Structure 1
């Protein structure tokens, strides 16, 4: 649908982009939390999930969208999983031998794709080869999979060997979480944007983008964690995922018993709490502001970036975004386990000081004009903000724009949904934006943040170049395990101290559940679902 926006008397403007959903994060690794539900386990039941955004492309190597990856895990699986203790556990791989530069996975026998074909070592190796091929523009290249990684299959031994030249202390954890696509999907990826071709417990039997998705349980599944098979009591026969973008509507559906799982934020979550609805809370960044470092943009000027950060009251904006329930940003990491995570990232953010922000721009030659706007060498200080949709976000960015206007900045605001923003950011072009609202959600291992903050890959859409970050990462990548935590933490601090990225604050998202149990619900793990009555 199109967005209708009112005019503003202040000097900032909205340019609508066609969009229809709100999603505030990219998903890298998921947050973990136990599911809720009471009662007797049912047979061949049905589960309904209310998603806050349409997933967009469902082909796993092409997306980092949180909703897309949640839906994809019903049809696709990874080589390893994580046990209740946070340690790696077998899945499609029954065992592995690893170092910081090489992993050899021994695959489980008897695994089949949804089309009946047998999962082979060559098929698995082909996934990694496809992902690392720059021509395929995989969204997870450099995130889950090092760009230089090579994959070799040994069909006789049923093993796959993955090698990389640069040491990575979390190599097994990263590559082991890649969702494996079967042969047809890899050969024809464009045909599987709304279809499944994996080894997962469910097939996608109906897809109506923007409305709903229907999943149906396979009858021949025997290799799930904990001995889960198609015949395990309590597994729903069908799962329906409805796209419900309105927070109030999601709350109402939970109260009326018309949905089993939905995330709801304040103030509507108060109604659910009062009704005694069980919920699981997870904390994550409410927003991150990425500044475009491309030379064509005013935000390439370090003085402009620092002045914008110094004139941003992150505490007030976080409260607007969360209905008064914001808290200081602890870390860029919000997934579990939080390996080497900081607890006070906000302490490294340049402090809020409007007078100092003005002095920074004065010193850099951005002169205030009689119209209340600054310019330098004939160039007006105009900042284009691209932010996600949602009433709270509109209010928050209107407030942010009013702060920056007092500094002498002309602000243009554009709104879009998450898939549109991601298509803009990951297109490889600098784009018509200077500041973008995006949170990279669920990062569990610090090495997975690296491509978003450095390098020439498409994930570094802001074109950040931070020598202090790069130096600390180089040391940490050559250090075993947790011994590199001090360097990983210094790297994280360097990004915010240099005003490359501004974490606004943390928010608490609650996933409310009714009529089922699961090991965790953020995200839900299909093999662990048990419907109840």
Structure 2
């Protein structure tokens, strides 16, 4: 019967003409395509895409690594990036820049705020399979404290003693309470069983500084150098026993370039899939590569004009400082200089910081109000349009480093302040000369410069009167007894609400005196080719913290049933 049916169908098909046969084939193809589309739609509707293990990410970095060592890496972004990938600390930061435990399982702080007892997670392994214990923590701290090792972190640990109470418990004792102490515990842990064999005079020369062994998400595999010994690339592999979740991306290769221009060239040639911390000028070329994704990450870095009232008679008048704050168009500066990739800043706390007092009457751009402030206080325009008062001419000398963004900012300030009747003389200097001959000597009337506190800020270093001179960071030479008292109390209390109250009082006094003119906080720019997913960092203290969630990044995906 089946044979007869098939034979009949063949006879029918032979009897059809060319166009009839073509029509039948087309109908069958359309029906098959529709069925395939329908099944695909059902599959997609009932499944979801999830990360898959595998893939290779290539990132370009401007600079040369030298010390991939957590107690030596603070002066080099290239070093700090690799340290972040290879090492882990007791604490780390989440995607919002908030401190959270990493290797630490629990912590206790004494009532007087001077003793911290930390309990470690058990089963955390170094890349050679050795378990991390409290002895490794103590060894790392002692290595920082040893002056022979020349750690940039030594100053933070000089008044701290460390004591191991059992295999997984360590106690830190401070001479004075300090709310920000836990920030120090983000430093990566050195394996004692390897580094204790190295004498202090060989510490800076040890092979482990370039072939590191840590307990971070990635382990060192190899390095490629050119004929002159410069490092071209570092290869890292996902650590299969990483205690905080094995990274999805199985291989990282970091390529190193002499400067940003070379780095961008490499990205446009598709040698690398991503690069970080690109300048705003550099972004203008990125459109040459399709699918480029630019992520903006907030950092506590900000730029301001710091007023030295002891060097300028005009700036000693409070109405002048207030008028400059009201008469400066920060929105225009952010738009023109940063391409909109930044945040307007009006005071020592950034708007996205928890301590920012949003309800205070911070200055916003109002040129009429600024001019009125000056006129009401007797500042009259002369024949040249520059204001004068009792023989004091409203001219200000501004010094700035020769960074492109700040040079342009100074030029904009000159134009904006001219409309207020202020004559601004701008001097541009190299960063080195500026630091040695101007900043350290405090030889300036107004200084366009940057600050980089932490997101959980301790403004003591920037605004306490003890930091006015020499190497201090109080660039406005600000002095106020009430502020000194508030900042001193704030850094010694572990109660966040009390600290916020003290910082609120500080901001009220700052606003009444306006010893500086804050301008903007530039966004940190993370550039990738669109192949990387899962990057979730929104705020960070330092550029290396962009790797804080790297074990959640992924390239490959698969689908699973809902």
**Is the structural similarity TM-score above 0.5?**
yes
Shorter-chain-normalised TM-score: which range? Answer: 0.5 to 0.7
1:314-356, Cα deviation, whole Å (9 max, x unpaired): 23222222225665337756699x4434457782579655536
The SS at the match of 1:217 is: strand
For the residues of structure 2 that align with 1:285 and 1:434, how far apart are their CA atoms? 22
Q: Which residue in the other structure is 1:465 paired with?
A: 479
Give the aligned length. 473
Matches within 5 A, 1:490-529: 490-495=505-510, 497-513=512-528, 514-518=530-534, 520-521=536-537, 523-525=546-548, 528=551
CA distance in 2, matches of 1:191, 1:299: 54
The answer as to 2:90 corresponding to 1:79 is yes
For residues 88-124 of structure 1, give each alpha carbon's deviation from its aligned partner in whole angstroms, at most 9, with x where no partner exists: 5543434432243321223456654899998624313
TM-score with structure 1 setting the length: 0.66
Q: Which has the higher contact order (CA 8 A, sep 6+)?
A: 1
1:437 corresponds, among 449, 453, 458, to: 449
* The one of 310, 324, 329 aligned to 1:313: 329
Partner of 1:532: 555
- Cα offset, 1:407, TM superposition: 1.4
Q: 2:371 aligns with which of 348, 355, 372?
A: 355
2:422 counterpart of 1:407: yes
Query: C-alpha distance in 2, partners of 1:429/1:339?
Result: 34
Instruction: Show structure 1 runs of 5+ residues with no match.
Output: 1-36
1:151 partnered with 2:138: no
When residues 58 and 501 of structure 1 are mapped into structure 2, their CA distance, relative to the original with a 3 A threshold, is farther
Instruction: String of CA shifts for 1:124-180, please: whole Å, max 9, x gaps.
Output: 3325635xx8x9694785xxx4x77412232754543223344444543x2222345
Sort the Cα spacing of 1:287 and 1:465 in 2 relative to 1 into closer, same or farther, 3 A.
same
Q: 1:348 to 1:335 in 2, by over 3 A?
A: closer
Question: Does residue 217 of structure 1 match 2:236?
Answer: yes
Contact 1:517 1:530 in 2 (8 A): yes
Task: Provide, for residues 464-499 of structure 1, a one-character-per-residue CA deviation record: whole Å limited to 9, x for no partner.
Answer: 434443343345443612353233234245445533
Structure number with larger C-alpha Rg: 2
Equivalent position SS for 1:445: coil
CA offsets per residue over residues 48-89 of structure 1, 9 Å max, x none? 2355x8899877567477676445413443211245798755
User: CA 1:55/1:253 → structure 2, altered by over 3 Å: closer, same or farther?
Assistant: same
* Contact 2:94/2:548 (8 A) holds in 1: no
Separation (CA, whole Å) in 2 of partners of 1:205 and 1:410: 50
In structure 2, the partner of 1:176 is: 185
Please name the residue that 1:18 is paired with: none
The residue aligned with 1:282 is 297
Q: Is the 8 A contact 1:285 1:505 kept in 2?
A: no
Q: Which residue of 2 aligns with 1:105?
A: 118
Q: Which of 211, 218, 226 is equivalent to 2:244?
A: 226
Task: Answer yes or no: is the 8 Å Cα contact 2:51–2:248 preserved in 1.
Answer: no
Shift of 1:386: 2.0
Report the equivalent of 1:6: none
Q: CA RMSD in A?
A: 5.5
* C-alpha contact 1:62 1:140 (8 A) present in aligned 2: no
Kindly tell me: are residues 333 and 378 of structure 1, through their superposed partners in 2, closer, same or farther at Cα, counting changes over 3 Å?
Answer: closer
Q: Is the 8 A contact 2:68 2:212 kept in 1?
A: no
Q: How does 1:276-425 map to 2 (within 5 A)?
A: 277-284=292-299, 287-291=302-306, 293=308, 301=316, 303=318, 308-309=324-325, 311-324=327-340, 328-329=344-345, 338-343=353-358, 347=362, 355=371, 383-387=397-401, 389-390=403-404, 392-404=405-417, 406-416=421-431, 420=432
Taking structure 2 as the reference length, the TM-score comes to 0.63
Cα 1:292–1:191 change in 2 (3 A) is farther
**In terms of mean alpha carbon deviation, does 54-63 or 338-347 score higher?**
54-63
- Map 1:260-279 → 2, pairs under 5 A: 260-262=274-276, 265=280, 268=283, 277-279=292-294
Offset from partner CA, 1:165-224 (integer Å, 9 cap, x none): 44444543x222234567569867866998576724355946899x976333279x5764
Which structure shows the bigger proportion of residues in helix conformation?
2
